Amino acid sequence: MIVNEVEQELSTGVFGDSRSLRVNSDIFYRGVTELFADVFPGFSLSWPWPASPLHRILIRGYLDEALIHLRTSEVRAQAAALELMDLLAQAPSGPSNIAGWDVDPLGKRVVERFHQTMRNDGHTFTVEILEPSADMETAVERARGLLHRLLPEVAPSTTALVDGLAFCSGDLSSAFINGTPLLVYIGKELLDDPLETADALLHECLHQKLVEVRLTRRMLRDGYSDDTSHKVLVPWGGSGRLFSVDRALAAFHVYVHCSLLHLAAADEHADLGLTPEELDERLTVRWARADFFGSTLSTPEAAAELGPDGRRLVRWLRTANDRLGGALTIAGTPLADHGGGYAS
């Protein structure tokens, strides 16, 4: 009962209705496309964009980049827009699939933007983008089916916000990269565990969902900057780990939904190859982390960094997570008894 009630809440309203978010996004980017065609000579892209995933991923990424530059420099914004036009001129005339990383110019550029974003964010670990195999695709589709079955109101419309999936290996289990929106990355090492893969898929697609929310909502205060914002000290993942308020908000959004997924999976632990203790541990860690971020983002210092819609999102997510706190683990203890159990 709690799962159904919370899922219904998380799939509706200004933050939960993924279908309305996609409509808003289409209206926004149609306007951006038409604006750039009017003001930037040589920008000839029109709406609707090409339907192939790689085209859409790169068009969205470059337009986002141009919009950021437009705040301070029309010259840099135009340069990004025209770089996109040069790239599209090199692209094959037919559909570009999520493969061919070494031969398709669009695929090669996605990989370049992935690694550039990782470097810009200060990551030094090694990640390789892989060509998909039949076994990889079967495993991720099995996980997608599990996710959609367990969360039929939330999951299908959320994963539909993403146009493609890339497989990777190395020191990264999954990722969503701002430089390649509409694309999520899933680590090959996860694929033997259907629930872990479903969790990663939901996790990364939720980042895209929050990006769509931000298009039309005031999530952060005017003048907000990650560099100067209040920092949240995260008590897991190593000592001295600090999150900006923006990153903490995204993590809160993810952990509430992933707690719901694991609660929905509780009755199927044996079919998923998990003991009751293993599933309970995954569930309680996610719920406790959501509880931590909900409390932390409600402090005056963190709330001051949020815009009115950001504070509203925190209240919405806290209500959902508090409701989940009344659910029982497989062992029979309320989730609310596991506050602070966010592991190391």
Q: Which of 179, 237, 209, 191 is nearest to 62 (CA)?
A: 179
Domain boundaries, the chain: 219-344
Alpha-carbon distance of 184 to 200, in angstroms, equals 9
Enter the tokens of residue 94. Answer: 């037919």
167: CB partners within 8 A, 6+ apart: 129, 130, 131, 132, 136, 140, 185, 186, 187, 188
Q: What is the DSSP string of 244-287?
A: EHHHHHHHHHHHHHHHHHHHHTGGGTTTTT--HHHHHHHHHHHH
- Pairing type for strands 164-170 and 241-244 reads unpaired
Greatest Cα pair distance, the chain, in angstroms, is 65
pLDDT in tens, the chain (344 residues): 899 999 999 999 999 999 999 999 999 999 999 999 999 999 999 999 998 999 999 999 999 999 999 999 999 999 999 999 999 998 876 656 676 777 788 999 999 999 998 888 777 777 899 999 999 999 999 999 999 999 999 999 999 999 999 999 988 899 999 999 999 999 999 999 999 999 999 999 999 999 999 999 999 999 999 999 999 999 999 999 999 999 999 999 999 999 999 999 999 999 999 999 999 999 999 999 999 999 999 999 999 999 999 999 999 999 999 999 999 999 999 999 999 999 86
